[in-house]
Amino acid sequence: MLFNRFFRGLSHTSAWLVLTILFAIIIVLFHYSKSAIGDFGFFHFITNSKWIVGNDGNGGNFGGLIPILGTFLSSLIAMVFAIPIAMGIAIFLTEIAPEFLKAPVGIAVELLAAIPSIIYGMWGLFYFGPLLQSWFGGQSNSLLTAGVVLGIMVIPFMAALSRDAMNTTPSVLVESAYSMGATRYEVIKDIVFPFAKKGIIGSVILSLGRALGETMAVAFLIGGVFRFPNSLTSATISIPVLIANNFGEAGNLQLSAMFYMALILFIISFFTITIAKFYFLRKTD
Amino acid sequence: MKLAIQTKDFSFTYPKTKEATLKGINIPIYANKVTALIGPSGCGKSTLLRSCNRIHDVYPGNLYDGEILLYDNNGEKAENILQYKKENDLINLRQRIGMIFQKPTPFPMSIKDNITYGLKLSGIKNKTELLDRAEIALKGAALWEEVKDRLNNSAMGLSGGQQQRLCIARAVALKPQVLLFDEPTSALDPISTASIEELISELKNELTVLIVTHNMQQASRISDYTGFMYLGDLVEYDVTETIFLNPKEKKTEDYITGRFG
Ligand SMILES: Nc1ncnc2c1ncn2[C@@H]1O[C@H](COP(=O)(O)OP(=O)(O)OP(=O)(O)O)[C@@H](O)[C@H]1O
Ligand SMILES: [Mg+2]
């Protein structure tokens, strides 16, 4: 009895704690970005492509367009690159691989997911970036390099989660489809995918969330220059990289502008997740 | 009498098992009759049933031995289905021999799409033909009145009994020669069970039924022939009445009188 109440109390407290932290973060972000919001407004800020520190070191003209674009485009490239490959791996691991391969390949995928992002960053910087440059021209550190390496980075994560979702398809359902004369491809398309849809979309969203907020790998690879990306292969900057690169020596207004950027990143991730959840919840019910 | 299926010295071994699970089974399945398989848990009823449409092949490493002959509609020419190797042959086989599972298995799609699923797989594209055949199949399964206004709703929203009749309708829509039932009513309430038993009795006019059941009353109510299995052997096979009233083997008698199993 006492135990029951204790655990109920604990779980309630924990649930509230999560909400409290969420609100605390929003409040802090808002508080510190107030002066930038006051100076630049919203539409002006997100359409302004300048980031100029004032002469006295404290003021300046700060706009978020370029880092917002950099964040969005690199994540978009990552998703376009990662989704088909991750789905292919997940399908291979659930439906196609012979039994003796499933476990070792599955473990390899999970190990890849555990590699710290800085290692992907170094690999991209010294090997993959120059390789992409030799194929497509442009700069070695660019939107494309950052996006593709981000994609490679989230593939194992996305594949492992999608595989887990696909594995939840009841085997009688799969057998039932085969017993109607379905081919393996039809079973995957008509049964496994629809059944695992929720989990698959979930895995894509979580991966997108990772890509949007990724700092280390992107810091190495996107170029880190505050410049409008004229092509896929030009160098630019993303929100987390901007913040990480300038946090140390920023003056008051620039600091506030960076908090403003953080707030925007927070809202973007929050809405991506909410909208997508709303979308697939409506689909399955 | 016409044969639909006949097994000849049929043995089956699961992967990584030393001993065969089915040992030299010889059983005739007559066309347009209901044949029931009974026997204690683990004796191999499902294994035999699942061999008839080669659904075992969804998993690798099984060993078949002997023959399972599948006759044409006239009961004359037969093919050994164990010789099929290509995916296409297995697909054709499974469209000729349908299967209903213990738990209803509606697909995650609408009621209409569930019914037309097999038809679409078999290459029918014409929308009106698909709808017509769906309607006939649903009427045949006594489900039409209950679902005709919500054909586009998800099949997951139906009751267990309705879902099972949907699965039967889905299989019947393909006009198979044989339907395999693996304890189709053991997850259902008595009323749903009665309606499914009635359905099975009606299906005899169009096709052949092979059914596994744990329910002795059910076997005696709906089947024409019964096979009693024990530890991977077919101990006795006969007309259902004989099996239940006058079995030749002591094991059979012990089982149906409830002395073991
Ligand atoms: N995939 C498998 N791999 C190995 N052995 C299996 C497998 N499936 C079933 N068996 C074994 O084969 C034997 C026959 O199983 P089967 O499912 O055919 O029995 P059953 O007569 O249908 O029993 P029940 O009435 O409980 O459904 C059992 O001993 C079972 O443990
Ligand atoms: Mg069984």
Domain boundaries, chain A: 2-62, 66-284
Mean pLDDT by 10 residues, chain B (261 residues): 95 95 97 96 96 95 96 92 95 96 94 95 93 93 92 93 94 95 93 92 94 94 97 96 95 89 61
Which pLDDT score, from 0 to 100, does residue B93 have?
A: 97
- What is this structure's pTM? 0.83
- Is the per-residue pLDDT at A226 higher than 70? yes
Q: Which letter does DSSP use for residue B188 in this model? A: S
pLDDT at A183: 94
Q: Which residues of A touch B174 (CB under 8 A)?
A: 180-181
Contact B170 A179 (CB under 8 A): no
Q: How far apart are CA B254 and CA A161, in angstroms?
A: 52
Better pLDDT: A278 or B194 = B194
Comparing C-alpha atoms, which of A255, A279, A212 is closest to residue A51? A255
Over 80: is that where the pLDDT of A130 sits?
yes
* C-alpha–C-alpha distance, residues B184 and B104, integer Å: 8
Q: Provide the token pair at B225.
A: 């022939």
Protein residue with least CA distance to atom 10, ligand 1:
B14
Rounded average pLDDT over A57-78: 92
What confidence tens digit (pLDDT) does each residue in A11-60 have?
889 989 999 999 999 999 999 999 999 999 999 999 999 999 888 777 88
pLDDT grade, residue A276 (50/70/90)?
low
Mean pLDDT of all residues belonging to chain A: 90
pLDDT category of residue A275 using cuts at 50, 70 and 90: low
Ligand nearest to the backbone CA of B15 = 1
How much distance in Å is there from the Cα of A28 to the middle of ligand 2? Answer: 61
Strands (E), B90-232: 97-100, 178-182, 208-212, 225-230
Q: What is the pLDDT of residue A279?
A: 64
Distance (Å) of CA A234 to CA A36, A57, A221, A226? 28, 29, 11, 11
Q: What are the backbone dihedrals phi and psi of residue B206, each rounded to the nearest 5 degrees, phi first?
A: -105, -25
pLDDT band at A247 (very low <50, low <70, confident <90, very high): confident
Find the B218 Cα to ligand 1 centroid distance in Å: 22
How are the residues of chain B apportioned to helix, strand and coil, as percentages rounded to the nearest 5? 40, 25, 35
Q: Report the topology of domain A66-284.
A: MetI-like fold (1.10.3720)
pLDDT category of residue A215 using cuts at 50, 70 and 90: confident
Q: Do A179 and B99 touch (CB under 8 A)?
A: yes
**What CA–CA distances, in Å, run from B122 to A183, A184, B125, B137?**
11, 15, 9, 16
**pLDDT greater than 80 at residue A236:** yes
Long-range CB pairs of A204-207 (<8 Å, 24+ gap) are A204/A79, A204/A83, A204/A158, A204/A276, A205/A272, A205/A273, A205/A276, A205/A277, A206/A157, A206/A158, A206/A161, A207/A78, A207/A79, A207/A82, A207/A86, A207/A154, A207/A157, A207/A158, A207/A161
A284 — pLDDT class (breaks 50, 70, 90)? very low
Q: End-to-end CA distance of chain A: give it in Å, rounded.
A: 37
Give CA–CA dist B182/B39, Å, rounded. Answer: 13
At A270, is the pLDDT very low, low, confident or very high (cuts 50, 70, 90)? Answer: confident
Pocket of ligand 1 from Cβ distances under 6 Å? B 14, 17, 21, 39, 41-47
A285 falls in which pLDDT band (50, 70, 90)? very low
Q: What is the residue whose two structure tokens read 């021999």?
A: B97
